[in-house]
Amino acid sequence: MSSEGTMMFRVDEFVSKYNLEDEGKEELLKMLNESLSVISMEILKSVKVNDKTNKIEKVEGEKRYKSRKAEEYANEHGIEIDEFDILEISKKDVENKIREKTKIKTNVSKVKKEESEPKIDTKKVSKERVICCGINKKGEACKSTGTIQPDGAKKKYCFRHAEDFRSFECDSDSSDDEEELKEEELKEEELKEEE
């Protein structure tokens, strides 16, 4: 950059043009610095620095969307323009606001769910591991953990076999009959012992 474009060069030209002494030059520089200070303070009043993102955001003026897509996106998700702290709202700003609202709703629902659920002592509850009762394509028993018990199913199945649980169960399942017989026999023995 040439020295002609610098501020000090212009000040020196001004001082020599009007035959100012060093004292006049110092006073001129002081006035320039004060002016710049006042101007910068006015600029700072009209903008806001966002602490989280360190972005400078305009505060004064009328809020508006940067694009029609941003406005439509906000309307789709029920977000009002007054919810934003910035003047020009982009689609990304709308997406961030949606994420923020979703996090708040999720946290609130988790808290409500935790409050409504009965407290369970985890030391007393043992997690029983159940093997899936489905049969794979080779005709062998599935070795996955049975985590799903569909409505109407007697047993638990893995996610692969849960949809077709009816093909693995039948009304007269011999293993179920054996269990029922054993239970009946135990009840009869207990009744005999009590008499």
Residue 110 is predicted with a pLDDT of 66
pLDDT digits (tens, 9 = 90+) for 85-113: 788 888 888 888 888 877 776 666 666 66
Where are the domains positioned within the chain? 3-49, 61-115, 128-195
Residue 88 is predicted with a pLDDT of 85
Query: With 50 as the cut, is the pLDDT of residue 161 above it?
Result: yes
183 vs 19, residue with greater confidence: 19
Residue 193 is predicted with a pLDDT of 75
Residue 137 is predicted with a pLDDT of 85
- In three-state form (DSSP H/G/I as H, E/B as E, the rest C), the secondary structure along the chain is CCHHHCHHHHHHHHHHHCCCCHHHHHHHHHHHHHHHHHHHHHHHHHEEECCCCCCEEECCCCCEECCHHHHHHHHHCCCCHHHCCCCEECHHHHHHHHHHHHHHHHHHHHHHHHHHCCCCCCCCCCCCCCECCCECCCCCECCCECCECCCCCCCCECCCCCCCHHHCCCCCCHHHHHHHHHHHHHHHHHHHHHC
pLDDT digits (tens, 9 = 90+) for 28-72: 888 888 888 888 887 776 665 555 555 555 455 688 888 888 888
Residue 150 is predicted with a pLDDT of 84
- The pLDDT-based confidence of 176 (bands split at 50, 70, 90) is low
59 vs 142, residue with greater confidence: 142
Whether this prediction's pTM lies above 0.85 is answered by: no
Residue 121 is predicted with a pLDDT of 43
Residue 120 is predicted with a pLDDT of 45
Mean pLDDT of 143-163: 85
Tell me the average pLDDT of the chain: 76
